[in-house]
Chain A
Amino acid sequence: MPDHRTFRRVVAVMAVSATVVAACSSSKKSSSTAAGSSGGGCSATIGFFGAITGSEGALGTNENDGIKLAISQFESANPSCKVNLTTLDSQGDPAQAPALAQKAATDTSLIALIGPAFSGESKVADPIFEQAGLPNMTVSATNPSLGTNGWKFWHRAVGTDNSQGPAAAKYLASTLGAKKVAVLDDGSEYGKGIADIVRSTLKTDGVTVTDSESVDPNATDFSSTVNNIKTTPPDAVFFGGYYQAGGVLAKQLSDAGVKATFMGPDGVEDPGFVKAAGAAAEGAILLAPGTPADKLPGSFTSAYQALNGQAPGLYSVEGYDAANAILAGIKAGDTTRTSMQTYLATVDYKGLAVEVKFNPTTHELASAVTIWASTVTNGQIVSKAPISV
């Protein structure tokens, strides 16, 4: 009976390979290098928490690459200092966040964390950082409710949807002159949050919301939503969510002959949107708080390009600024969690796009952030103008 042995071998091979693959996928790119934190008074390990892979992976990658640039410039300016970066890839999935947050919290070499990148994962990860006393600073989680939890170690170096939502509504009503708008979202903490603000602001501005739905971002067929929108053809469609689902939705709307202008918030402002939507992306309006990528100083763009092999995208510069603010603290000798926390309370660092300075009670940015509108022209995201609310 040769069968038995072959069988055992096959099962063994399968089991091993399955374990290996599963292990590879679960451990992701958490290349934690705890070593090196011993040298000098200005060496430390900082972390980044956010989606590097997955259907929203580009946003986290932008931030992470911005942080990498800040660290490499810091190290060449201060050769005696060694700063390590631990990247925690959450895939943007709130279900994966708690375990990963636990990992960051128990990694005592980590003195500060940039992230979590998204609002949904922030909601579950931040209580864990709070307990562990790990100072963290998000540069892209824009849901306003995050600021209402009284978290001490949480900081937000980005404007919230309370400024982005009304700016979107204002743009729709004034600049586009839309009378009827369909407002969709992906049901996420972030997407539904911003869409709800847009809905209520539009209503007070006297604009009719013709359709209001939460689509499943993992679904690929939005035909019922497309049909609902076609029932009362709107002037514009706003989608609160991320770029992949937004791109697919824009494509299916345009294929169905819907002529409305497509608009998305910062989660949609990524080349991935153009990739998913194809020609349907043309003319779409994308909003984001902070300086658009094409308005950044050329020296930053070229250094970023040289280090990471691709142009900076949304939140690259915010990640860079946040990292520089933290690095300035490390330079000053704040290399423990407690001293970093004290440092962040009074930090005032003028970055390229953000002035990293927090309101002492809310831990939100002290100064208001401008919302920029961009549009897609010939497959490129081009900035148009800042929106004044």
Chain B
Amino acid sequence: MHFDNLYHQFFSLSFDGLNIGAIYALIALGYTLVYGVLRLINFAHSEIFMIGTFTALFATRWMDIPANAVPHHGIAIVFILVGAGLVAMAASGAAAVALERIAYRPLRRRGASRLAALISAIGASLFLQELFAKWKGRDPIPFPRIMKKEHLATVLRADIRSDKVIIITTAVLMMILLDRFVGLTRLGRGIRAVAQDAETAALMGVDIDRVITTTFLIGGLMAGVAGILYMVYYENTVYNIGFVPGIKAFTAAVLGGIGNLRGALLGGLLLGLLENYGGALFGAQWKDVTAFVLLVVVLMFRPTGLLGESLGRARV
């Protein structure tokens, strides 16, 4: 037990925890949205994230940024990040929609059980991983350093770094946007209606297929954002990069209450924080154990997660 580590680095750990937690939360949105609408755990979502990281990498190559590039400055950073981010979002979004069309919709049309869709999800996940492994090899590929990781300020002994500030603010902004979208727009209302009661929604004139496609698209877009942000922080990608963040994001979604958008945000940030506190207190080997023990404890007392499963009932 290293209480002094936790005590001395508390705010630093919190800041780093929010950083990785924000990325978990973005990925968790994809799990939670699809679960809310289809009652399906989309296990291939971690590969949608992986596609996001790869296309962000390709985007930097199209922009002629060499792997050992000198970090850029000012407006160039914004341009590169937004450019690569949009490419990653487009690719992840398209991949998510294609995944729904190929792996889930045919099963749904035939009224196959949810278990069949789950197997299809696992199959699609393996397929996409191996596809990228065959195409790009199994070795990690470095991502160029786009921006200098600059020390901005020291707040309560925490080292506030530019890349982490960008990651946290972008992630939180995207989540607020999404929350507003689901809460206020017509399409968002459709999503909530289908989540609440698909049959009644259909009777009321909601085009279910369109709603489902939109749901996958949004989940994919968020995974794309997570992809570029993860690359800014981690600067490496590989065919199975989605595995660990995918599991963590799924956990975050369950922790916050799967099917609940704000739950995904809360769960992601909380998981990132708990992991880091656990790692500091007991050593890195206990990082995941701490996070998962707390998940079990939360589920014991609140089986539906911290905020409950309520995409349908999400208040505006």
**Co-assembled chains A and B:** yes
- Mark contacts of A14-31 with chain B using CB atoms, 8 A cut-off: 1 yes-contact digit, 0 otherwise: 110110011011000000
Q: Mark B134-164, 1 if CB is under 8 A from A, else 0.
A: 1001111010010001010000000101000
| Interface size in chain A (residues, C-beta < 8 A) | 51
Closest to B102 in A: A10
Q: Is the CB of B280 within 8 A of A228?
A: yes
B157-207 contacts to A (CB < 8 Å): 159, 161
Query: A22 touching B130 by the CB < 8 A rule?
Result: yes
Cross-chain contact A17 with B234 (CB below 8 angstroms): no
Contact present for A224 and B275 (CB under 8 Å): yes
CA distance A251 to B149 in the complex (A): 11
- Say yes or no for B244: interface residue by CB 8 A criterion: yes
5 A-B pairs with the lowest CB-CB distances in the bound complex, closest first: A224-B279, A223-B16, A21-B130, A53-B138, A214-B285
Q: Does B114 contact A (CB under 8 A)?
A: no
Q: Which of A219-266 contact B (CB under 8 A)?
A: 219-228, 230-231, 244, 248, 251, 255-257
Contact yes or no, A278 B235, CB < 8 A: yes
CA distance A11 to B127 in the complex (A): 13
Name B residues whose Cβ lies closer than 8 Å to a Cβ of A. Answer: 2, 4-5, 8-9, 12-13, 16-17, 19-20, 68, 102-103, 106-107, 109-110, 120, 123-124, 126-127, 130-131, 133-134, 137-140, 142, 145, 149, 151, 159, 161, 230, 233-236, 238, 241, 243-245, 275-280, 283-285, 287-288
Do residues A278 and B13 form an inter-chain contact, with CB atoms below 8 A?
A: no
CA distance A15 to B288 in the complex (A): 34
A4 within 8 A of B: yes
Query: SS class of chain B's interface: helix, strand, loop or mixed?
Result: helix
Q: For A6, give its contact among B68, B106, B124, B138 (CB under 8 Å).
A: B106
CA gap between A292 and B241 in the complex, in Å: 32
Q: With the chains together, A6 CA to B110 CA distance in Å?
A: 11
Q: When the two chains form their complex, are residues A257 and B283 in contact, meaning their CB atoms are under 8 A apart?
A: no
Give CA–CA (A188, B81) in the complex, Å.
Answer: 37
- In the bound complex, CA of A231 to CA of B284 (Å): 15
- Residues in B neighbouring A10, C-beta threshold 8 A: 102, 106
A10, A215, A221: which has the most chain B beta carbons within 10 Å? A221
B234 to A55, Cβ gap below 8 A?
Answer: no
Cβ contacts A to B, 8 pairs, < 8 Å:
A57-B139, A214-B283, A219-B244, A223-B13, A225-B284, A227-B9, A228-B9, A278-B68
A227/B235 contact (C-beta < 8 A), A10-B102, A10-B106, A14-B123 known: no
- Residue B17 contacts which of A54, A212, A223, A272 (CB distance < 8 angstroms)? A223
Known: A3-B109, A231-B5. Is A224-B234 also a contact (CB below 8 A)?
no
Cβ–Cβ contact A223 & B20, under 8 A: yes
Residues from chain B with a CB closer than 8 A to the CB of A15 are: 123
Min Cβ gap A145→B in Å is 20
- A224 with B68, Cβ < 8 A, contacts A219-B244, A257-B151 known: no
User: Is the pair A224, B16 in contact by a Cβ cutoff of 8 Å?
Assistant: yes
A179 in the interface, Cβ–Cβ < 8 Å?
Answer: no
Chain A residue numbers with a CB within 8 Å of B134 are 21, 24-25
Chain B residues within 8 Å of A184, by CB: 284
Interface contact B283-A276, CB-CB below 8 Å: no
- Tell me, in angstroms, the Cα distance from A24 to B127 when the chains sit together: 11
Flag if A251 contacts B235 (CB, 8 Å): yes
Residue in B closest to A254 when the chains form the complex, CB atoms: B149
Known: A14-B123, A55-B238, A224-B16. A213 touches B284 (CB 8 A): yes
User: B140 contacts A216, CB within 8 Å?
Assistant: no
Kindly state whether residue A331 has any CB partner on chain B within 8 Å: no
Closest to B116 in A: A11
Q: How far is the CB of A95 from chain B (nearest CB, A)?
A: 14
In the assembled complex, the Cα of A245 lies from the Cα of B225 at a distance in Å of 25
**Known pairs A221-B234, A248-B236 / 8 extra A-B pairs, C-beta < 8 Å:** A14-B103, A53-B137, A53-B138, A220-B230, A220-B241, A224-B276, A224-B284, A251-B235
- Kindly report which residue of chain A lies nearest to residue B272, judged by CB atoms: A221
- The smallest C-beta distance from A18 to any residue of chain B, in angstroms, reads 5
Please give the distance in Å from B258's CB to the nearest CB on chain A: 23
A231 with B244, Cβ < 8 A, contacts A221-B234, A257-B159, A278-B235 known: no
